[in-house]
Amino acid sequence: MKIKVGFGFDVHQLKENHPFIIGGVNLEHHSGAYGHSDADVLLHAICDALLGAANLRDIGFHFKNTDPRWKGISSLILLQETVKLLHEKGYGIGNIDAMLCIEAPKINPHIPAMQQNIAEAAGISVEDISIKATTNEQMGFIGREEGVVAYAVCLIEKR
């Protein structure tokens, strides 16, 4: 059995009165992540980890931010498309471990819903998805609530 690991990273700026979607969950907050799609920083980092593990380049290669097909799209769809690409290369997902770095709002109450959304989109068990969150201790652009960062690692295995 061949196994591979992948690493993903994403960052989005926050804008006042903009929707804030993380892990497919719409969070109540005064500002939200801005981008071409729904700017779901967590799912973008996960997609990059999965694509990297399978040597399929990165999310920007497959879902260009200049392509109108992806404008405003749910990143859960991008994750589904990423999983299809993995399956075409004969890989399945072993597990995903992700970390959000965000000052506010609190993420912990939303983690079960995020795990469920990711599990459904990726076709894996909730037990195979770990999501954690931390603040930046009020330092830098994250601490000033100007942006949000996500990191993800994954394990994939040849079927």
The binding site comprises 10-12, 36-37, 44, 58-60, 63-67, 134-137, 141, 144
DSSP string across the chain: --EEEEEEEEEEEEEET--EEETTEEE--SEEE-SSS---HHHHHHHHHHHHHTT---HHHHS-TT-GGGTT--HHHHHHHHHHHHHHTTEEEEEEEEEEE-SSS--GGGHHHHHHHHHHHHTS-GGGEEEEEE--TT-HHHHTTSEEEEEEEEEEEE-
Residues flagged as binding site for a divalent metal cation: 10, 12, 44
